Amino acid sequence: MRTAIVGCILMTLCWLGCLTPANAVTGDYGDVPALDQGWTESDRDTFYHLPQGSPIMPYEYFMALEQPRSEALFSDRAYLESMGMNYWTSKNTSVLNPNGLPIGLTIDRGMMTDEPMLGMNCAACHVTEITLNGQKTLVDGGVSLFDFARFTADLLASLKETAGDPAKFDRFARRLLGKEYTEQAARKLHRRVRYFAQRREQWSDNNTPDFSPGPGRVDALNIILNRTSGHMLERPDNSIAPNAPVSFPPLWGAPYLTHVQYNGVVPNRGAGALGRNVGQVLGVFGEVSLIESTMPGGYFSTVRLDSLQTLESSLQTLRPPRWAEVASRGVLPPLDEPMVANGAKVYAANCVECHQQVDPQNYGELASLPVKLVPLKDIGTDPAAAMGFASRLVSTGPIKGRPEAFVRGEPFCATAQANAVLAHITVGVIMHDVGEAWRPVLESFWDDLMHRTARFFGGTFAPEEVVPSDKDLILSMRAQGAADAEISAALTARSTNRAALYEQMVKESHLFDGQEKECMGEVQTAQYRARPLDGVWASAPYLHNGSVPTLKDLLMPVAQRPTRFYVGTPEFDPVGVGFVQDQRPHSVLLDTQVAGNSNSGHEYGTSLSEADKLALIEYLKSL
């Protein structure tokens, strides 16, 4: 099985100084106090506003753009805050952010030009604020309430209205061109606005879900696969609706975990962090040319690997938010220490088997904290994210015949797993930036990271000569007339991997009848990770898809959990530990009866006494 890659990368731009804050967002806003999580203000500015290679549209166009159905600017602070975007100081300006845009918006660049472009980096989804009694607190690396789907939809609507409404366009053109306005310049500008509107519409056509994910959630894996196997391969028929939204995961401790993604398919050691970060950029507006280059080799892209190390290094010093610190400011109630001590015992007896305890001040070595991977059949939570990634097949189009691992491996057949296409493009992007001198490193990385998962799980590689491969066994048993169910049972019987989807593998193998066995897919897995729970109090809503609003609700049997609740308000609930669930302006109703939103599974701790549940929650606040 090839692997998915999610994360965030950065690059440095030399032309930032030429931009001026002429259109800066203004208003009488107070600072939002940040917590002591190991970062300086310089660290925050870097994380908040360094571009990652995700160009959306020309930066100056964005600054002159109006909101849809309004003459107010799109960059208006109150408008962007209504989408869940965050600001951190009253001025909110710096060299990287001269116009005072919210956390996560950047000045980027495109593939073929140094024209300043509006970009977005990972901070848009991984910095949040909590509010209680009118007091705001900024949480770095937290679960943002950013409504990514609304942002992209409104941006598209604004561009289309600007291109189609003469009065709206005239205001836009005069605002942008100023003294250089002429009829000829306006006509040229109009053509470019239509072009960028078409680009955003193409993105929307391939990446609009059938229901609103709401604030704090996005189907990252399917959007990444849509971009790589649909857009980049120029095969829109490979795209599917991204209907498996997941919550933005907290980032503190991420560099130290053995697995970071919810479905735990990419080991975090070695080059794994680099790969997942590149994949994130490919999903968030990154561009790649699949024309193979030779000097240097690989695929040319907007991604810049040199700044990735800067980001990864900054995350190494990020620590989880501490409830006690927020309580000392009078925002949260103080912890009940005797109850915390009782809760620690409940945790040790009921939770630590999956969620190991860590010391956030000393995580240890990078990629050293074991993250338990729980088979879908055991955890019982919504299957859409795990199953969608494991079972998606696509047409390979222009990369048919190229090595699956870019530098080695079997050539792509006409049909392949979407995650194999993603891995191929990711390695190609990395190859282009690190050049020929790094080829041996990349080949070693691929062997380590992209090895056949049938032999990978458990941390060791079984000798290939001991038993026939999964592919050989399937072909052999089929030649003997065995039914699919018999073949699946035989594969399961000899494996210890409870997350393996052998039924899916056998089913998919029928698609490759008459072709070489190398065209058959590798064994797939359906699983979710169980990470340490440091800072869990600040990472609501819960489960991988954000379908349970509070810790109190998570300790209830599924039948007693809320089935419909509103998400999007930063108002904190210190008793249930999560966000309030009632309807507020710009909140979105989350219906757990919709496929992809299920609040089922993870019924651990639901049978505890009420006293033990309260003690456990108090202990979880202290982590």
**Residues 6+ away with beta carbon under 8 Å from 297:** 431, 432, 435, 436, 439
- Residue 358 pLDDT > 50, yes or no? yes
Predicted pLDDT at 97: 94
474 residue type, one letter: I
Q: Which DSSP string corresponds to 89-158? A: SSS---SS-TT-PPTTEEEEE-SS---EEEEE-THHHHEEEEEETTEEEEEET------HHHHHHHHHHH
Question: pLDDT above 90 covers what percent of the chain?
Answer: 64
- Residue 451 pLDDT > 60, yes or no? no
Q: What is the CA radius of gyration of the chain?
A: 25
Rounded Cα distance, 283 and 141, in Å:
20
What would the pLDDT profile of 25-39 be if each residue is shown by its tens digit? Answer: 333 345 788 899 999
- Residue 5 pLDDT > 50, yes or no? no
**Residues 6+ away with beta carbon under 8 Å from 617:** 343, 551, 552, 555, 577
**Residues 6+ away with beta carbon under 8 Å from 582:** 566, 569
Residues of 439-452 as b/e, b for ≥16 C-beta within 10 angstroms?
eeebeebbeebbbb
Predicted pLDDT at 456: 37
- Give the tokens for residue 388: 């969608």
117 forms beta bridges with 58, 108
Predicted pLDDT at 481: 82
Rounded Cα distance, 407 and 305, in Å:
19
Rounded Cα distance, 371 and 599, in Å:
22
Enter the DSSP assignment of 83.
Answer: T
**Residues 6+ away with beta carbon under 8 Å from 530:** 354, 355, 371, 372, 373, 374
Classified as helix, coil or strand, 372 is strand
User: Out of 239-253, 303-317, 494-508, which region has the weakest mean confidence (pLDDT)?
Assistant: 494-508
- Residue 17 pLDDT > 70, yes or no? no
- Give the residue with greater pLDDT, 297 vs 131: 131
- Give the residue with greater pLDDT, 530 vs 91: 530
- Residue 568 pLDDT > 80, yes or no? yes
Long-range CB pairs of 196-201 (<8 Å, 24+ gap) are 196/57, 196/58, 196/61, 196/159, 197/156, 197/159, 197/160, 197/162, 197/163, 199/57, 200/56, 200/57, 200/152, 200/155, 200/156, 200/159, 201/156, 201/160
How distant is the alpha carbon of residue 531 from its chain centre? 16
Rounded Cα distance, 380 and 188, in Å:
56
Q: Which DSSP string corresponds to 480-543? A: TT--HHHHHHHHHHT---TTB-HHHHHHHHGGGTTS-GGGSPPPPB-EEEE---TTGGGS-SBT
Q: Where are the domains of the chain?
A: 16-214+252-316, 384-527
- Residue 450 pLDDT > 60, yes or no? no
- Residue 515 pLDDT > 80, yes or no? no
Confidence of residue 453 (pLDDT cuts 50, 70, 90): very low
- CA angle, residues 232, 234, 237, in degrees to nearest 5: 115
Rounded Cα distance, 259 and 250, in Å:
13
Predicted pLDDT at 555: 98
Question: pLDDT above 70 covers what percent of the chain?
Answer: 88
Rounded Cα distance, 119 and 55, in Å:
5
Predicted pLDDT at 513: 67
Classified as helix, coil or strand, 331 is coil
Classified as helix, coil or strand, 67 is coil
- Residue 294 pLDDT > 80, yes or no? no
Predicted pLDDT at 11: 30
Q: Report residue 205: phi and psi, to 5°.
A: -60, -35
Predicted pLDDT at 407: 82
- The mean per-residue pLDDT over the stretch 111-140 comes to 92
pTM, full prediction: 0.87
Predicted pLDDT at 8: 37
Nearest Cα to Cα of residue 3 among 261, 320, 244: 261
What would the pLDDT profile of 386-429 be if each residue is shown by its tens digit? Answer: 998 888 999 999 999 999 888 888 899 999 999 999 999 999 99
Predicted pLDDT at 126: 95
How distant is the alpha carbon of residue 82 from its chain centre? 21
Enter the DSSP assignment of 467.
Answer: S
Predicted pLDDT at 604: 96
- Residue 511 pLDDT > 80, yes or no? no
Residues in the chain: 623
Max CA distance (Å), the chain: 80
Question: Is-contact 546 594, C-beta < 8 A?
Answer: no
Question: Is-contact 598 382, C-beta < 8 A?
Answer: yes
Classified as helix, coil or strand, 547 is coil
Predicted pLDDT at 519: 78
Predicted pLDDT at 74: 98
Confidence of residue 237 (pLDDT cuts 50, 70, 90): very high
**What is the average pLDDT score of the chain?**
86
Question: Is-contact 543 552, C-beta < 8 A?
Answer: no
Predicted pLDDT at 273: 84
